[in-house]
Every structure is written in C-alpha cells, then in structure tokens.
Amino acid sequence: MAPDDITDWVRLEEDGERDPKDPKKWLRREADPKSVRNRHGLLFCVFQAAVESTAQLRTTNPCKGTRLPRVDDHVDEEMCFLEHDEYQRVAVEITDPDARDLADWLVSTGMRWGEATALRVKDISLLSDIPTANVQRAWKKAKKGAEGGAYYLGPPKTKKARRLVALAPAQADLARRLVAGQAPEAFLFRTPTGKHWRHANYYNRKWLPAVKAAIAKGLPKRPRLHDLRHTQAAWLIAANIPLPAIQIRLGHESISTTVDRYGHLVRSLDGDITAAVAAAMSTVSPTSHLRSVG
C-alpha cells in the first residue's frame, strides 16, 4: 500500500460512497473529520508497528504526510467577546423570559449549549454555601444518516467536562425559580410548552432576531450563540481569575486549550512584566562594563 492509496481512502472516508445502482443508498457513509482522524491514527500505528517490528514487515509508513480534514472547520469564525454593556444590548432584545433566562445562564456560566440545555432539576444544588450546577450530560447529534441526524443525550465532550459549576447569587436565584415545583428529571431550561430548547429554534427565533435588533441600534459586533462561552472566559480574565481556574470552570480537557484560546487576553501582568524587563536591562552587563573599561 502506497501513500496515494491512503490519501484515496481518506477522501473516500470524507465523501462517502453511494450505491451506483441506487444513489439514495450508501455503500459507505461519510465520516466526520474527527472520526477520519481517529481511523487514520489507528492505521498509522498499525503500519508503524510493521516498520518497527524485528521482521521489518515494511520499510516505510504510507500514512506519514497524509493531508487530513480539519476538525475545527465548523468553528473557523473569529471569536467574539462582548463587554458587559454589549451583552445587555442583546439581552434586552430577547423578549421571551424563558429564552432570556437561558442566555443569561450561558454567558454567566460559560457552559456549552449542549451542556446547559441538558441540565435537569436534580443537577442543581442550592443548599450548600456555594450553589452549583452538576454537568453530567450533553446533547449530541447522531452522525449524518443515522436516525436522521437526531439529537440524543450522552456524556459531555471530555472527561473534564464533567464538572461542578459554581453559581453566583443571580444564577442561584434563577435556578431556584426554575426548579420550584418541578420533578427531578425535568429539564432546567424549558420552552413555554415545557420541552427542552432546540438549538436551531432558539438561534433562529430568539438569538438571531435579538442580535439583529441590537445591531440596528448600534451594536458594533455580531456575536454567535457560542460566543457567550467565550465572553464568560473574557470576563473572568478581566477579573484576574487564573487560567487554570477558568480551565476547570469551562471544562477544557487541557490547560493548553485555555491558553491557546484565551491566553492573549491576559494583560493584568503586563505592568509587572515590563517593570521586570526594565529592571533587568538597567543592570550593567559584563560586556558593556568591559567596553567602558577599555
């Protein structure tokens, strides 16, 4: 097997293969970028083991250098961070109280959409000194073609996404109002009909109209719904909350994810850094001292 064979296989994984006798049927369904990368990684290891075996079953690994699909193609847009007043300019345009509650929760907890809308009444703890929301599940979308791409409840995105999120007094009051009189299995955030919110409906009927109305009144940004998570991170950084604490709150698997996404916002130590550099540069170096002696 040659590198070109691996490339052809990857492209087939991406595009899928229709049945030539019946175009409506699949011989091989298209795979999402992450699945393609995982399968390629497994194949890479198999070939590498053959290369490194004592019998040297292969001399080269054909998986090396394969161009793989990007897993972040759906989030390439630049992150948008809202100031407090900018968020309020959008929020005031959300006239549905239930929808406004959800937007306030997203921006104040930094939860992913799928996590917040999967919360149940039993996940809220209001009796301790610091009320919390227990993130234990999230909405996930089935692969294309599987059950029509339906959504289902599954585990959070990563192991560290399973977490307790501390609630500020305003969020605790909001949660207390939403859990009152509800069964433990009831969703915390519900539509007027009592069902959980669906992303497409919320985005198109609640969020997007509010953003357009705010822009018409002078809002200089066009935030996506996921930008509320980024905004929470920006607010915490502005309040000098350390990045490791933000990592835990947002449920990032690695601190590198937090640093890569939000590290450029950390400016609170700029004064200390420049002062340290100035102090170091003010010290006469040995070479400059020798020059002055000479």
pLDDT tens digits along 183-232 = 999 999 999 888 899 999 999 999 999 999 999 999 999 999 999 999 99
Distance CA 222, CA 211 (A): 7
Tens of pLDDT, residue by residue over 10-20, are 888 888 787 78
Domain 77-265 annotated CATH 1.10.600.10 = no
Domain spans, the chain: 3-74, 77-265
165 alpha-carbon distance from chain centroid: 16
Q: Is the pTM of this model over 0.75?
A: no
Instruction: Give residue-wise pLDDT tens across range 101-131.
Output: 999 999 999 999 999 999 999 999 998 889 9
Q: Which two tokens stand for residue 113?
A: 């959409």
Q: Which single residue is written with the structure tokens 């919390």? A: 132
Give me the pLDDT at residue 245, please: 93
Length of the chain: 294
